[in-house]
Structure 1
Amino acid sequence: MTAGPDTAEESPISTVSPLPSATLGGDSKRSLEQITLLLFITVPFLALVAAVPLAWGWGVSWLDLGLMVAMYFIGCHGITIGFHRYFTHGAFKAKRPLRIALAIMGSLAVEGPLVRWVADHRRHHKFSDAEGDPHSPWRYGETVPALLKGLWWAHVGWMFDQEQTSQHKYAPDLIKDPALRAISRQFALWTTVSLVIPPLVGGLATWSWQGALTAFFWGSLVRVALLHHVTWSINSICHAVGKRPFKSRDRSGNVWWLAVLSCGESWHNLHHADPTCARHGVLRGQLDSSARLIRWCERAGWAYDVRWPNASRLDARLLK
């Protein structure tokens, strides 16, 4: 795989100084933030649970379904292409308009501020499934009770840990960029935008409050909950089960049934074997919509120096 030299202006992973004093949330969670986080987790989850009987009894309109799917994949690709492959790992370089767009798209997923998300994930890779990993399912041991406790921790529990990853240590490049720092600090604004778009479109399309309400239920609450739990499943399920065709220093595995909903992220074993690779699903039949969109951005000239899979690197990591 090939890549040009990184620069402070072009690369999301270069180290620069001096740093601003703080970003949104800082390095510890206060009680108010923990309560807010609890609400953002439980309210959409309750909507997701209620969606099953509601869809069975009354169905879901094509408009609401379309809003849910569209907003889901906008946010999901914002996380997978933007927050993860670009900002965290520098799998490609991006022209500034694409960089800003990816930061906003990822923020619409309602998974936390950009700088904090990236800092957590870089720390995860440094200590993957070892002491220091913020969300390993093997945290408490390998017995069945310990693994069940660890799965809960990796899926949700770790987010309530008061001591957070140092953003200045793990994401200094993002803090240095004024635009990215502003987007990260404006997380509450982007959350509001994300939740308001579906009811606004639904209400205008049907010209009714009922249309706005059902669009909010499906396009905002259910969509956010589904995306949350798919993303968190990469932390929990994909580090506990799945096939491991490539050599990695942790327990990351491929979980095929999450591939479409995770936009290719659940081909997690290759990712941990070669973290800067722009494509995670590298074997035959492994769907990776994020890699496809990166390819389109590259052809349009918006992305460049993309670190595509290299046959010799893959062969060196493949378990014989």
Structure 2
Amino acid sequence: MTMQASEAPPDPAGAAATQLSATRGGERQGPIERIALALFIGVPFLALVAAVPVAWGRGLGWRDLAITTVMYFLTCHGVTVGFHRYFTHGAFKANRPLRIALAVAGSLAVEGPLVRWVADHRRHHRFSDKEGDPHSPWRFGETVPALVKGLWWAHTGWMFDQEQTPQLKYAPDLVRDPAMRRISRLFWLWTALSLLVPPLVGGLLSLSWEGALTAFFWGSLVRIALLHHVTWSINSICHAIGSRPFRSRDRSGNVWWLAVLSCGESWHNLHHADPTSARHGVLRGQLDSSARLIRWFERAGWVHDVRWPDPERIAARRAA
């Protein structure tokens, strides 16, 4: 199943073959494929985990950890609640101040301007794991070399592609909103703030340049890098492995060990089975902090018309 970068739908015969392959979802991966996936997934995270105890007390302390954690989950929820569930899929309606706050919070994640992010993601859903998907890990085929190349493409490579998603076609609502256009065009400002707030807080709390420097390293650089790789893992890992309790037209899977760091986004199979749902972790024990935050916004009266999944809606999407 080799994919080309095109928005034209495949021919009927090709579509049927692609649909059959996508429905299987790579459940019968061999040992070599599993080893390749394990190395791609595990090495970067193990390197980060190993760095923390080495650096503890020598450039990393509780102050830096607190700044990094607060900034991480603030910007992560800006992407998951704001960019993704609200702006891309319309899982709820928000009042104007919250709408602007979500746009800014998501921009602080430094994952690209709002309008481009939304346009790319809507295109991804239209062609998920098929020809035209901007970041499918199955783009180059299903052999081990093709899968490794596809995982890299889905993780980061697609962002360097010259092809650009037409924003007016995929995000006309945001293009025509002056406030959202302005926030999107000020991406350089949100990037600067995202980098400068941690060292400013660290310097003020420690009253030292050293405190500002360590906060910049952990709260700015490491935090942004970690959030980027977690977000990109939804594109790559969650379309290569994971459980699939719900019917979807692609290979999206639930990856439980990414749930906390992804703020609930790694319950990806349900999301692709029901894209407008405000909650992705719908089964018992599935942590979804983004859904919890939306619930708090609803109780505060800041959002309304939330598309919560009910038992019938969940049952209707269950896989056989």
Q: Compute the TM-score of the two structures, normalised by the length of structure 2.
A: 0.84
Structure 1 residue 116 displacement after superposition:
0.2
* Kept after mapping to 2: 8 A contact 1:242/1:254: yes
* Kept after mapping to 1: 8 A contact 2:59/2:214: no
Deviations 1:286-315 (A, max 9, x none): 000000000000000000000000211211
Q: 2: distance between equivalents of 1:54 and 1:167? A: 44
User: Counterpart of 2:225?
Assistant: 225
Matches within 5 A, 1:136-147: 136-147=136-147
User: Counterpart of 1:261?
Assistant: 261
Q: 1: distance between equivalents of 2:71 and 2:247? A: 35
* Kept after mapping to 2: 8 A contact 1:51/1:222: no
Q: 1: distance between equivalents of 2:108 and 2:72? A: 9
Q: Are 2:301 and 1:283 equivalent residues in the alignment?
A: no
Deviations 1:68-120 (A, max 9, x none): 00000000000000000000000000000000000000000000000000000
Q: Are 2:303 and 1:303 equivalent residues in the alignment?
A: yes
Q: 2: distance between equivalents of 1:115 and 1:48? A: 31
C-alpha distance 161-49 of structure 1, shift in aligned 2 (>3 A):
farther
Deviations 1:110-136 (A, max 9, x none): 000000000000000000000000000
User: Counterpart of 1:98?
Assistant: 98
User: What one-letter code is carried by the residue in structure 2 that aligns with 1:97?
Assistant: P
C-alpha distance 206-97 of structure 1, shift in aligned 2 (>3 A):
same
Q: 2: distance between equivalents of 1:61 and 1:144? A: 41
Secondary structure (helix, strand or coil) at the match of 1:71 reads helix
Question: How high is the sequence identity, in percent, across the aligned residues?
Answer: 80
User: Counterpart of 1:207?
Assistant: 207
Deviations 1:128-176 (A, max 9, x none): 0000000000000011111111000000000000111000100010011
Length, aligned pairs only? 275
Q: 1: distance between equivalents of 2:159 and 2:54? A: 30
Unpaired runs of 5+ residues, structure 2, are: 1-44
Deviations 1:228-254 (A, max 9, x none): 000000000000000000000000000
Structure 1 residue 52 displacement after superposition:
4.3
Q: 2: distance between equivalents of 1:298 and 1:57? A: 42
User: What one-letter code is carried by the residue in structure 2 that aligns with 1:233?
Assistant: S
Q: Compute the TM-score of the two structures, normalised by the length of structure 1.
A: 0.84
Q: 2: distance between equivalents of 1:55 and 1:307? A: 44
Q: 1: distance between equivalents of 2:87 and 2:51? A: 34
Deviating more after overlay: 49-58 vs 162-171: 49-58
Displaced runs of 4+ in structure 1, greater than 6 A? Answer: none
Q: 1: distance between equivalents of 2:53 and 2:298? A: 43
Unpaired runs of 5+ residues, structure 1, are: 1-44
Q: 2: distance between equivalents of 1:292 and 1:53? A: 31
Secondary structure (helix, strand or coil) at the match of 1:147 reads helix
Q: 2: distance between equivalents of 1:70 and 1:134? A: 31
